[in-house]
Amino acid sequence: MQEVRREISEPPLVTSYQALLQNNDLHSSSLKNENLSVQEIDLPLIDLCNLQSENRENSRLCAKEIVGAASDWGFFQVLNHGISLELLEKIKREQVKLFRLPFEKKVSSGVLNDSYRWGNPTATSASQFSWSEAFHVPLEKISDEDCNYGEFSSLREIMKKLAMAMSSLAQTIADILAQNLGYTCHDFPQNCDERTCFLRLNRYPPCPFSWPETGGGASGLISHTDSDYLTILHQDQVGGLQVMKDSRWVSVRPNRNALIVNIGDLFQAWSNDVYKSVEHRVIANAKRERFSFAYFLCPSYQSTVGAYAQPSRYRSFTFGEFREQVQDDVKRIGRKVGLPRFLMDHAEQHIHKQIDF
Ligand X SMILES: C=C1C[C@]23C[C@@]1(O)CC[C@H]2[C@@]12CC[C@H](O)[C@@](C)(C(=O)O1)[C@H]2[C@@H]3C(=O)O
Binding site for ligand AKG (CB under 6 A): 200, 202, 221, 226, 233, 235, 241, 280, 282, 292, 294
Is 197 an interacting residue with respect to ligand X (CB under 6 A)? no
336 binds, among Fe ion, ligand X, ligand AKG, none (CB under 5 to 8 A by kind): ligand X
Residue 292: contacted member of ligand AKG, ligand X, Fe ion, none (CB under 5 to 8 Å, by partner type): ligand AKG
Residue 330 interacting entry, from Fe ion, ligand AKG, ligand X, none, C-beta within 5 to 8 Å by type: ligand X
According to DSSP H, which parts of the chain are helical? 13-23, 56-72, 85-99, 103-108, 111-114, 139-143, 153-180, 265-270, 319-333, 346-356
Query: Minimum distance from CB of 198 to Fe ion (Å)?
Result: 11
**Smallest distance, Å, CB 325 to ligand X?**
10
Residues 109-168 that bind ligand X (CB under 6 A): 120
Give the bridge partners for 39, in sequence order. Answer: 250
Q: Does 219 bind ligand X (CB under 6 A)?
A: no
Among residues 13, 142, 177, 221, which is the contact residue for ligand X, using CB under 6 A? 221
> Per rule CB under 6 A, is residue 330 in the interface with ligand X?
yes
Which residue lies nearer to ligand AKG by CB, 155 or 241? 241
CB of 239 to ligand AKG, least distance (A): 9
Burial of 124 (0-12, 13-18, 19+ CB in 10 A): middle
* Distance (Å) of CA 183 to CA 95, 179, 187, 239, 307: 38, 5, 10, 36, 10
State the burial class of residue 153 (Cβ atoms within 10 Å of its Cβ: 0-12, 13-18, 19+): exposed
Question: Cα torsion for 16, 22, 26, 30, to the nearest 10°?
Answer: -30
Between 211 and 295, CB nearer to Fe ion: 295
Q: Distance between CA atoms of 89 and 95, rounded to whole angstroms?
A: 10
Task: Output 94 or 226, the one with its CB closest to ligand AKG.
Answer: 226
For the CB of residue 228, give the shortest distance to ligand X in the complex, in Å: 7
CB atoms within 10 A of CB 164: 16
Q: Which run of H or E residues covers position 77? A: strand 75-79
Span near ligand X by CB under 6 A; candidates 10-18, 75-83, 220-228, 309-317:
220-228
The nearest distance, CB 301 to ligand X, in angstroms, is 13
Whose CA is closest to 32, among 208, 207, 212, 245? 212
Q: How many residues bind ligand X (CB under 6 A)?
A: 11
Contact assessment for residue 205 and residue 131, using Cβ atoms and an 8 Å cutoff:
yes
Where along the sequence are the contacts to ligand X (CB under 6 A)?
120, 200, 221-222, 224, 226-227, 326, 330, 335-336
